[in-house]
Amino acid sequence: MIGDRVFTRLARSASRFTARSLSFAIAVGVILAWALTGPVFGFSDTWQLMINTGTTIITFLMVFLIQNTQNRDTEAMQIKLDELIRATHNAHNALLDLEELEDREIDAFRARYILLAQQARERGEVFDDLSGKDGTGRG
């Protein structure tokens, strides 16, 4: 859809711009200019309303921008992790696309892996891995 592509490009560009030090410097400059004009406007309600309205609008828009960026990053990371699982010999392909499961199903996977981790610790495997005694020749 054309609207989605335009939004994606706009969000990506805005995200890159707002993440730069120049953007922060501009924001600080705006705040300083606002503060310095306080005496000129007699620290009036209108003077205060200007900054409140501006920051509210920017915050409102940034929420959507941040959420979009975070969702895209998370989705890309999930695809990369899915590919690593798929391509790894003896990996459990049931772990692919876990984010689409119901909470109780994810909890069941988590409980299984917690149990496996506890069993490995009881056997001392974690210490073998850390010391390089896992038979891989590392360490």
Residue 18, classified by CB atoms within 10 Å of its CB into exposed (0-12), middle (13-18) or buried (19+), is middle
Sort residue 31 into left (φ over 0), alpha (ψ -120 to 50) or beta: alpha
> For the segment 34-81, what is each residue's pLDDT rounded down to a tens digit?
999 999 999 999 999 999 999 999 999 999 999 988 999 999 999 999
Which residues, at least 6 apart from 51, have a Cβ–Cβ distance to it below 8 Å?
Answer: 31, 34
Confidence (pTM): 0.63
CA distances, 10 to each of 7, 79, 105, 122, 126 (Å): 5, 23, 37, 52, 46
The predicted structure's pLDDT at residue 132:
58
Q: Is the pLDDT of residue 138 over 50?
A: no
